[in-house]
Structure formats: structure tokens, C-alpha cells
Amino acid sequence: MKVELGEKKFFVAIAASLALIAFVLVSSVYMPLGAKLRKASQELKAMEGELEMVRGTIKARESYGKRSLPTQEGISIAIDELTRRGRTLGINFISISPQKIEEVQGLPYRLLPICMELESRYEEFGRFLGALEELGESVVTIESFEIERDERVLPKVRTKLVAEMYLIK
């Protein structure tokens, strides 16, 4: 039994066969590659996030210039410099209480929160905050502060603040 196809049916059969082959190629080759591409894209986004964090660290180090981060052993020297600078500006340190050192994930430093209670004039306190940028032995940022007027010590005020000292790991 011999089946003859017309020319038109022959081309339709060829086109259907090519479409089937194309479908098989796409589903067996390109779809797995697409999955790999999506996975690689997610990994790239994660790496870009890490890169931004590292760039921020580098930028912070460049902006602090010649200042160095103390090690855990150098904390007392850095706190001493901080208080000495404050005293020259008229700050009376009522209490200084270093807290537990905090690890910072993914960054090359740790943070030492320092709770302080101060007594000073507003102007002296403002100059003290500005002087923190000029410390040579450490990098210190102010996490929070609260100023209270105390009738017994006017025109001075009492300030409670939490400073964070950056330590090298």
C-alpha cells in the first residue's frame, strides 16, 4: 500500500515535523539554560549587594583618612583621648560606661557602645560633638542623646548619650 501525499500536504508535514523538533530542542536545551540563567541572576544580585557593602566600608575608611580603629586592647587609650578632648572643651564627665562589644556581620569592624552622662553648657556640648570628628585614635559616632535641664546646675545641662566606638576585628 503506497500513500501518495500531495505537494501541499508534504510541506505541511515537513513544517509540522520542524515545529516538533523545535519544541523538543527548546524544552530540552533552552529551558534548562533559562533556569541556570535565573539562578545565576539571583547569585549576581546577592554579590552586588555584598559589593555595595564593601564599597561603603572602603568609602568610610577613606573618609576617615589618617584615623585608625583601635583594637580591643586599645579601647582604654581611645576612651582616654575622648574624655581628654571633652574636658578641654569644658565637659564634665559624670559617668562613662562601656557596654558589650557588638559584632557587625559582613564588615571588618565591631562596635563598642559607650553610655555617658555629661554636664556642660549647650555650646560646650556642641563643640564636643564637633570634636569627635577630629579624634586621632578612634572613630566615634553618636547613636543617641538626651539633654535635660537641671535647675541645680544652670546654665549647664545634663546630657545622657550613647556613643559607638568602632573597633578593628
For 55-96, write each residue's pLDDT tens digit: 766 665 555 555 677 778 888 888 998 999 999 999 999 999
d(CA 101, CA 112): 5
Q: How confident is the model at residue 98 (pLDDT cuts 50, 70, 90)?
A: very high
Round to the nearest angstrom and report the end-to-end CA distance of the chain.
86
pLDDT reported for residue 128: 92
What are the extents of the domains in the chain? Answer: 1-63, 72-168
- Cis amide prior to 113 (ω within 30 degrees): no
pLDDT of 142: 92
CATH tag, 72-168: 3.30.70.60
pLDDT in tens, 100-124: 999 888 777 889 999 999 999 889 9
